[in-house]
């Protein structure tokens, strides 16, 4: 069994993608969460507990920089949100 959830946001011409993926077989359980800017992964974790997962990176747009964070929540249903400079721009996590 496997599950993948992706949320996207556009910000000043940049595509921001947060992805959560897990896979379970009899032999193993794997999980991964990633944050990507314009198709390039900028942060990644294999932390299993969604309540502890937090990804972040700085998006440089010309001379301006913006703090981008992804927060995860839930146990049976993964919820996520993308924050830019502390403001929610995408996702279904409060």
Q: Any idea what DSSP says for residue 20?
A: E
Question: What is the DSSP code string of 35-78?
Answer: EEETTEEEEEE----TTT-EEEEEEEETTEEEEEEEEEE-SSS-
Q: Where are the domains of the chain?
A: 2-91
Q: What pLDDT was estimated at residue 73?
A: 84
For 62, 75, 92, the CA distances from 16, given in Å and listed in that order, are 16, 24, 15
Structure tokens at 29: 């359980």
Strand 14-24 and strand 54-61: the pairing is unpaired
Q: What pLDDT was estimated at residue 76?
A: 73
Going by pLDDT thresholds of 50, 70 and 90, the confidence category of residue 89 is very high
Q: What is the pLDDT of residues 23-76, one digit of tens each?
A: 888 888 888 999 999 999 999 998 766 566 799 999 998 899 999 999 988 777
Q: What pLDDT was estimated at residue 51?
A: 63
């Amino acid at each position: 069994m496997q599950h993948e959830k992706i949320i996207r946001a556009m910000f000043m011409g940049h595509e921001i993608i947060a992805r959560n993926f897990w896979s379970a077989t009899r032999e193993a359980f794997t999980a991964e969460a990633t944050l990507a800017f314009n198709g390039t992964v900028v942060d990644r974790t294999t932390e299993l507990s969604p309540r502890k997962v937090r990804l972040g990176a700085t998006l440089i747009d010309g001379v301006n920089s913006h703090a981008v964070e992804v927060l995860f929540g839930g146990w049976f249903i993964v919820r996520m949100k993308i924050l830019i400079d502390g403001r929610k721009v995408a996702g279904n996590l409060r």
